[in-house]
């Protein structure tokens, strides 16, 4: 099929211009500016800059606390992605059944996605806070958020819960595309529900799973700041101080623009790296229709 | 201190240089003091080539720095000399009655927005030529960040509110006009003697007041009198020392209150309890000396006493760890979960009301100290700053505004509406004559605590540029102690981290 082309030379560029202006002003310029600043030390008030080479990078990578944040961010992301995808796939499968009132169940289960991370944090605080949390009251155990290990589990739980709705919507759509005749044929051939799920349904879900894998990784690395700020402020003793929270504190509280810029470049490269890795390894196993 | 920083082993400098600086540190401890250049020359003769080159470099950098500073001083002085002549001209030029508009950004949320607007409206009534645009700009931190970007964009407000711990940073920020300078320029003397001593001395740096005290508070002990009676404690006699608090907590625990004491995880209490022992928080006159502070002194005897007691109570199940933030400890107190909290004096209203709903009576007391400690409290809260932007007319309007907000009538209104205490003694006297403290005896505690605080550089409160960061370092350290780390080790590590942060800040702020 012959592709239709514009005859005029100028028109396509004019049409693209608005998009490019927005991209440049809100995305490329700030990003490049951030990368540039990572090579400078910046005065906290006047913004006066002084070239410092790799000073910022050298310091963050020799700081044991930053490396600790690196480690727990990785664990956090791993847990959020795996648990998030597993739970949402299970729930989506259940929501794909035909029972009465399914519309309502679906709405309720997708609803957490409509909350901002800060509100989600407030809800979990309501459950777990050490002074008057509901769960603390009923279990008699009050140190959920004031002990490192449980606090870490709770922010994982909150982050997973918060993003369930998003994942479920995509899985539900994908489940619509699983051909019924293939499933029926398999059951006639004697395949049980487990076998049918792994050999057929899962294969059809793989493109969506891959997409969600990438999206959830990004989510875990970049978007969980609000939860942590409300629930633990990175504590107790830095046990929930993931990279994005450290970055927030360095820029907005400690006014260390140079460090913050270096940290965001590191975070950026990290997520790009993971995504590329995912494309190279996982995508080969993805089955597109 | 420059040399110490540069020879940090993590920066992969020669090991020998590091060993050598350690020796210097020891010598200094032993009382041998010599200046940097001597140290370097001595070293210069005693070591290998590579290190010599490095040391030469440092000496050179230091010399360059001195020249630059000298040049700067000269360039600053020359216009100042001219300005002396100009000043009178300026005073003539300012038309005090010309219509002028200024902006005022603050960080007080909720009902306080209305309250501030009311105070400003009153001011505008009295000064019909001045229009003040008041804006709530989010938390202290948000407000400060917005002011910074506004300065860069050229649309800064003339007046903004900032928190106590931002003080040293703002003094060196290059974006503000010190209040005393403006007062002198426009010949509007401010009666600093009217202010409570700890209030005005906090914002005084090397003899000059930099900002106008506005909303000030100190911590207080709040206790539930009803539960005290139940535990057989004297409800009219609040615990005053570390040992008293512990004794009361043990008695309350016996009376069935699981964890009788709490306060939120905040470094502010730790700082205050160091002030109470009249000990410094950082070196160089607690950050108020001629040189910027370079060394945190939190790991001394005073700091250790505080945390030994604080963490000890947590370990013995007398103290409930409620984490950071300002709502959990209040909730625990109001629900009777605990019988004693430490909190800001601006919480008097809120906590009295909360306890009354349950039919309980509340008492207040001074924050505790170890037996025999002779210091006082330092104030916290916020103050009003003038930026160095705008026309002379705007600057004049700005100083008039902040002077008005700190005066008796608005301060009394502010006190009654919020629980922050008025910043002036004269306002307190007026409240006393009006019989306010007979109706509200708990307010008096905060005032008396202030009046009982002696003036010293230690009780004025520490100043350091990296205070927000130091606070989170200390809070982490306290949590590490809860989890089992020894107090001494946690404090030593924190002090080292704060030192590193200060060294860096001291360089960056001068660039």
Instruction: Give DSSP secondary structure letters for B71-107.
Output: HHHHHHHHHHHHHHHHHHHHHHH--TTS-EEEEEEE-
What pLDDT is recorded for position B12? Answer: 46
For residue A129, list chain B residues with Cβ-Cβ distance below 8 A: 322-323, 328
pLDDT tens profile A225-274:
889 999 999 989 999 999 999 999 999 999 999 999 999 999 999 999 99
Q: Does B76 map to a domain? A: no
Q: Cα(B472)–Cα(A281) distance, rounded to whole angstroms?
A: 40
Q: Does pLDDT of B119 surpass 50? A: yes
Q: Does pLDDT of B89 surpass 60? A: no
Do B344 and B400 fall into the same domain?
Answer: no
- CA A18-A9-A24 angle, 5° bins: 25
Contact map slice: A 192-221 vs B, CB within 8 A: none
pLDDT tens profile B349-379:
889 999 999 999 999 999 999 988 889 999 8
Q: Which of B23, B50, B68 lies at the terminal end of a domain, its last residue?
A: B68
What does the block give as tokens for B294? Answer: 């370079």
Scan for tokens 């049409």, then name that residue.
A15
Q: Cα(A117)–Cα(A161) distance, rounded to whole angstroms?
A: 10
pLDDT bin (cut points 50, 70, 90) of residue B310 is very high
Angle separating helix axes B15-29 and B49-93, nearest 10 degrees: 60
What pLDDT is recorded for position A279? Answer: 87
What pLDDT is recorded for position B7? Answer: 43
Q: Does pLDDT of B24 surpass 60? A: no
Q: Which are the contacts of B190, defined by CB distance < 8 A and separation ≥ 6?
A: B179, B180, B183, B209, B212, B403
Q: Does pLDDT of B144 surpass 90? A: yes
Scan for tokens 């970049």, then name that residue.
A222
Of B328, B475, B509, the CB nearest to A130: B328
- CA A94-A95-A96 angle, 5° bins: 90
| B106-133 average pLDDT score | 94
User: Which of A37, A41, A43, A45 to mutate: most B Cβ within 10 Å?
Assistant: A45
Mode of pairing for the β-strands spanning B380-387 and B176-177: antiparallel
Angle separating helix axes B467-482 and B267-275, nearest 10 degrees: 100
| A190-194 average pLDDT score | 86
pLDDT bin (cut points 50, 70, 90) of residue B230 is very high
Q: What CATH number does the domain containing B169 carry? A: 3.40.190.10
A33 shares contact with chain B (CB less than 8 Å): no
Nearest to B213 by CA among B445, B450, B422: B422
pLDDT tens profile A14-33:
999 999 999 999 999 999 99
Asked whether B454 and B375 are in contact (CB, 8 A), the reply is: yes
Q: Cα(A215)–Cα(A174) distance, rounded to whole angstroms?
A: 16
B502 burial type by CB count under 10 A (0-12 exposed, 13-18 middle, 19+ buried): buried
Do B25 and B59 fall into the same domain?
Answer: yes
Angle separating helix axes B467-482 and B487-508, nearest 10 degrees: 160
What does the block give as tokens for A253? Answer: 């509280």
What pLDDT is recorded for position B87? Answer: 44
What does the block give as tokens for B91? Answer: 């005073």
What pLDDT is recorded for position B308? Answer: 96
- Kindly state the percentage of chain B with pLDDT values over 70: 82
| A170-187 average pLDDT score | 89
What pLDDT is recorded for position B1? Answer: 40
Do B209 and B229 fall into the same domain?
Answer: no
Mean pLDDT, chain B, whole residue set: 86
Q: Cα(B442)–Cα(B207) distance, rounded to whole angstroms?
A: 34
| B244-269 average pLDDT score | 94
A44 shares contact with chain B (CB less than 8 Å): yes
What pLDDT is recorded for position A111? Answer: 83
Looking at domain A59-285, its CATH architecture is Orthogonal Bundle (1.10)
For residue A233, list chain B residues with Cβ-Cβ distance below 8 A: 323-325, 472
| Secondary structure (3-state) at B344 | strand
pLDDT tens profile B454-473:
888 898 999 999 999 999 99
What pLDDT is recorded for position B19? Answer: 61
| B465-492 average pLDDT score | 95
For residue B145, list chain A residues with Cβ-Cβ distance below 8 A: 252
Nearest to A34 by CA among A249, A267, A276: A267
What pLDDT is recorded for position B224? Answer: 96
Do B265 and B290 fall into the same domain?
Answer: yes
Do B157 and B194 fall into the same domain?
Answer: yes
What does the block give as tokens for B56? Answer: 């030469």
Partner-chain contact B321 A238, CB within 8 Å: no
| A42-70 average pLDDT score | 92
B468 shares contact with chain A (CB less than 8 Å): yes
Phi first, then psi, for residue B33 (nearest 5°) are -115, 130
Q: Does B197 map to a domain? A: yes
Q: Any idea which of A8-12, A171-175, A240-244, B231-235 has the lowest mean pLDDT?
A: A8-12
pLDDT bin (cut points 50, 70, 90) of residue B77 is low
Q: Cα(B330)–Cα(B332) distance, rounded to whole angstroms?
A: 5
Q: Which helix (H) or strand (E) holds B364?
A: strand B362-365
| B324-336 average pLDDT score | 92
Scan for tokens 């020669």, then name that residue.
B14
Containing structural domain, residue B61: 2-68
Of B325, B332, B476, the CB nearest to A237: B476
What pLDDT is recorded for position A6? Answer: 62
pLDDT bin (cut points 50, 70, 90) of residue B88 is very low
Q: Does B50 map to a domain? A: yes
Do B334 and B291 fall into the same domain?
Answer: yes
Contact map slice: A 120-139 vs B, CB within 8 A: 129-132
Asked whether B461 and B270 are in contact (CB, 8 A), the reply is: no
Nearest to B508 by CA among A245, A55, A262: A55
| B326-348 average pLDDT score | 93
What pLDDT is recorded for position B511? Answer: 81
Q: Does pLDDT of B168 surpass 50? A: yes
Q: Does B430 map to a domain? A: yes
Contact map slice: B 472-511 vs A, CB within 8 A: 472, 475-476, 479-480, 482-483, 501, 505, 507-509, 511
pLDDT tens profile B422-451:
999 999 999 999 999 888 888 889 888 988
Asked whether A43 and B504 are in contact (CB, 8 A), the reply is: no
A141 shares contact with chain B (CB less than 8 Å): no
User: How many domains does chain B divide into?
Assistant: 3
Q: Does pLDDT of B17 surpass 60? A: no
Do B132 and B204 fall into the same domain?
Answer: yes
Of B337, B466, B469, the CB nearest to A131: B337
Q: Does B326 map to a domain? A: yes
| Secondary structure (3-state) at A100 | coil
Q: Does B85 map to a domain? A: no
- Closest-CA distance, A3 to chain B, in angstroms, reads 48
Do B368 and B394 fall into the same domain?
Answer: no
For residue B466, list chain A residues with Cβ-Cβ distance below 8 A: 254
| B101-109 average pLDDT score | 95
What does the block give as tokens for B213? Answer: 């005290």
Do B312 and B246 fall into the same domain?
Answer: yes
pLDDT tens profile B272-285:
999 999 999 999 99
Do B251 and B333 fall into the same domain?
Answer: yes
Nearest to B271 by CA among B423, B141, B375, B371: B375
What pLDDT is recorded for position B59? Answer: 55
pLDDT tens profile A198-210:
888 888 898 899 9
For residue B262, list chain A residues with Cβ-Cβ distance below 8 A: 131
Do B208 and B233 fall into the same domain?
Answer: no
**CA–CA distances in Å: residue B200 to residues B77, B286, B462, B509:** 29, 16, 14, 25
What pLDDT is recorded for position B286? Answer: 94
Do B345 and B264 fall into the same domain?
Answer: yes
Phi first, then psi, for residue B381 (nearest 5°) are 110, -145
Mode of pairing for the β-strands spanning B100-106 and B380-387: unpaired
Q: Does pLDDT of B212 surpass 90? A: yes
Partner-chain contact A45 B169, CB within 8 Å: yes
Q: Does pLDDT of B452 surpass 80? A: yes
Scan for tokens 């910043």, then name that residue.
B423
B10 shares contact with chain A (CB less than 8 Å): yes
Of B169, B262, B329, the CB nearest to A44: B169
Of A48, A232, A237, the CB nearest to B480: A237
């Amino acid at each position: 099929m012959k592709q239709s082309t514009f005859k005029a030379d100028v028109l396509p560029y004019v049409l693209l211009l608005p998009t490019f202006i927005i991209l440049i002003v809100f995305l490329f310029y700030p990003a490049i500016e951030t990368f540039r600043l990572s090579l400078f030390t910046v005065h906290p008030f006047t913004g006066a800059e002084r070239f410092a080479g790799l000073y910022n990078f050298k310091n963050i990578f020799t700081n044991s606390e930053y490396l600790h944040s690196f480690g727990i961010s990785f664990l956090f992301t791993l847990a959020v992605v795996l648990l998030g995808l597993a739970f949402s796939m299970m729930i989506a499968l259940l929501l794909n059944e035909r029972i009465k009132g399914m519309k309502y169940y679906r709405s309720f289960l997708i609803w957490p996605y409509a909350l901002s991370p800060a509100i989600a944090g407030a809800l979990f605080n309501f459950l777990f806070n050490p002074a008057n949390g509901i769960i603390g009251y009923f279990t008699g155990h009050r140190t959920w958020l004031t002990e490192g290990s449980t606090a870490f589990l709770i922010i994982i739980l909150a982050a997973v819960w918060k993003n369930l709705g998003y994942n479920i919507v995509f899985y539900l759509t994908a489940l619509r595309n699983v051909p019924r005749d293939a499933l029926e044929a398999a059951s006639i051939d004697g395949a049980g529900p487990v076998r049918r799920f792994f050999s057929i349904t899962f294969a059809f879900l793989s493109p969506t799973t891959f997409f969600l894998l990438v999206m959830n990784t990004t989510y875990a690395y970049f978007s969980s700041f609000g939860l942590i700020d409300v629930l633990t402020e990175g504590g107790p003793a830095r046990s929930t101080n993931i990279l994005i929270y450290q970055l927030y504190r360095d820029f907005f509280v400690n006014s260390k623009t140079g460090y913050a810029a270096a940290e965001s470049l590191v975070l950026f490269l990290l997520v790009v790296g993971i995504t590329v890795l995912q494309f190279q390894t996982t995508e080969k196993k993805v089955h597109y229709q | 201190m420059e040399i110490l920083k540069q020879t940090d082993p993590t920066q992969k400098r020669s090991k020998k240089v590091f060993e050598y600086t350690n020796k210097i540190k020891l010598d200094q401890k032993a009382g041998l003091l010599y200046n940097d250049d001597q140290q370097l020359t001595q070293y210069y003769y005693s070591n290998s080539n590579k290190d010599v080159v490095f040391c030469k470099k440092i000496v050179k950098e230091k010399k360059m720095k001195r020249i630059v500073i000298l040049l700067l001083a000269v360039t600053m002085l020359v216009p100042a000399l001219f300005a002396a002549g100009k000043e009178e001209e300026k005073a003539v030029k300012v038309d005090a009655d010309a219509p002028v508009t200024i902006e005022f950004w603050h960080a007080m949320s909720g009902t306080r927005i209305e309250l501030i607007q009311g105070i400003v409206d009153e001011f505008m009534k009295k000064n019909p030529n001045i229009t003040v645009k008041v804006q709530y700009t989010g938390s202290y931190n948000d407000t400060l960040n917005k002011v910074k970007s506004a300065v860069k964009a050229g649309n800064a407000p003339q007046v903004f509110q900032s928190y106590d711990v931002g003080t040293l940073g703002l003094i060196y920020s290059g974006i503000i006009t010190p209040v005393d300078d403006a007062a002198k320029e426009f010949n509007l003397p401010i009666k600093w003697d009217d202010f409570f001593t700890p209030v005005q001395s906090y914002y005084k740096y090397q003899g000059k007041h930099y900002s106008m005290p506005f909303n000030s508070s100190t911590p207080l002990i709040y206790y539930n009198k009803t539960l005290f009676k139940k535990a057989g404690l004297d409800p009219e006699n609040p615990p005053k020392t570390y040992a008293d608090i512990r004794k009361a907590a043990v008695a309350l625990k016996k009376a069935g209150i699981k964890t009788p004491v709490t306060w939120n995880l905040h470094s502010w209490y730790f700082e205050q309890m160091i002030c109470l022992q009249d000990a410094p928080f950082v070196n160089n006159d607690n950050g108020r000396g001629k040189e910027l502070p370079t060394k945190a002194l939190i790991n001394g005897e005073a700091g250790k006493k505080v945390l030994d007691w604080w963490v000890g109570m947590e370990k013995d199940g007398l103290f409930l760890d409620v984490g950071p933030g300002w709502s959990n400890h209040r909730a625990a107190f109001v629900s009777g979960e605990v019988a004693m909290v430490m909190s800001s004096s601006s919480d008097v209203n809120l906590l009295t009301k909360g306890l009354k709903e349950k039919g309980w009576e509340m008492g207040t007391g001074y924050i505790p100290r170890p037996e025999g400690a002779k210091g006082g409290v330092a104030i916290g809260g916020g103050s009003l700053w003038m930026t160095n932007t705008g026309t002379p007319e705007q600057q004049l309007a700005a100083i008039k505004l902040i002077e008005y907000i700190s005066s008796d009538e608005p301060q009394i209104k502010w006190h009654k509406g919020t629980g922050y205490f008025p910043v002036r003694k004269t306002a307190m006297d007026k409240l006393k004559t009006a019989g306010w403290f007979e109706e509200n005896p708990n307010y008096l505690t905060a005032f008396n605590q202030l009046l009982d605080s002696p003036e010293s550089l230690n009780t004025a409160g520490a100043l350091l540029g990296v205070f927000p960061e130091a606070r989170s370092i200390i809070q982490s350290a306290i949590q590490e102690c809860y989890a089992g780390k020894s107090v001494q080790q946690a404090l030593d590590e924190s002090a080292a981290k704060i030192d590193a942060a200060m060294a860096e800040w001291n360089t960056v702020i001068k660039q």
